[in-house]
Amino acid sequence: MPVFTDIQNKRKKGPLHFTLIDPDKQEPAEAGKLAKMAEGFGSDAIMVGGSWGDAFGNKLNQTITEIKKASKLPVILFPSSAQQISDKADAIFFMSLLNSRSTQYLIDEQAKGAVYVRKFDLEPLSMAYLIFESDSNTAAGWVGDAKPIPRDKPEIAAAYSLAAMYFGMKMVYLEGGSGAKLSVPPEAIGAVKHAVGKDMLVIVGGGIREPEVAKEKVRAGADIIVTGTIAEENRDKLKEIIKAIKS
């Protein structure tokens, strides 16, 4: 079954949780263990990527291979450049950082990567990526040359999401930045969901460390919650977060 169909089917039953694994943060075997644990806790997919460090080539391939050995969950690439494409994955977030100031992250890396998406027969999941203002500039914001969405301007997030919908994108990822102290505000999530309705899946990630915070994002309108750092820091917390999203 195509990964997008699987996601849509699962979403009909309730909000989803995706686990982000950065190949730079652990050895491939450990990534496999992490994926198995997340699957056991009820996570719905594994995203693989990172905006900084060793997240491409052999390390990327071996990490995905170990994840696939350890779990049955779909593996979706979450690339920060055309270098982060692997034939071992099932699908790829084919994403454009819509609030980047650089054509590199709007379309140039995508053009380079498109050739490999076809060659490797990866399923492209068309997605808008929006980076929010946080307590400090995050790695994703710095690398992606983003003009962060102001936290107190939900209407700007809604307008970009609407534009993405008119471009035909199927998902919008509201990014607080990995490890950020401040996550995406519920007002922005609500404004985006109100703008795009059922035509787009709203994904929210970055700085989510507590079950109540994850639940607050779901109540605001998030279809999918992404966590990365918490699985490295506190595995019990990951279990509680997934439980809160699904309850």
Binding site for ligand 1GP (CB under 6 A): 20, 140, 175, 178-179, 205-208, 226-230
Give the sign of the dihedral formed by CA 3, CA 118, CA 143, CA 67: positive
Q: How far is the CB of 1 from ligand 1GP (least distance, A)?
A: 25
Report residue 46 as tokens: 């594994």
Could you give the CA distance from residue 100 to residue 97 in angstroms, rounded to a whole number?
A: 5
Residue closer to ligand 1GP (CB basis): 122 or 226: 226
* Runs of H (alpha helix) within the chain: 3-13, 28-41, 57-70, 103, 109-119, 139-143, 154-166, 186-196, 211-220, 229-233, 235-246
Residue nearest to ligand 1GP (CB): 205
Residue closer to ligand 1GP (CB basis): 92 or 226: 226
Q: How far is the CB of 119 from ligand 1GP (least distance, A)?
A: 26
Residue closer to ligand 1GP (CB basis): 22 or 39: 22
Q: How far is the CB of 232 from ligand 1GP (least distance, A)?
A: 8
Residue closer to ligand 1GP (CB basis): 5 or 188: 188
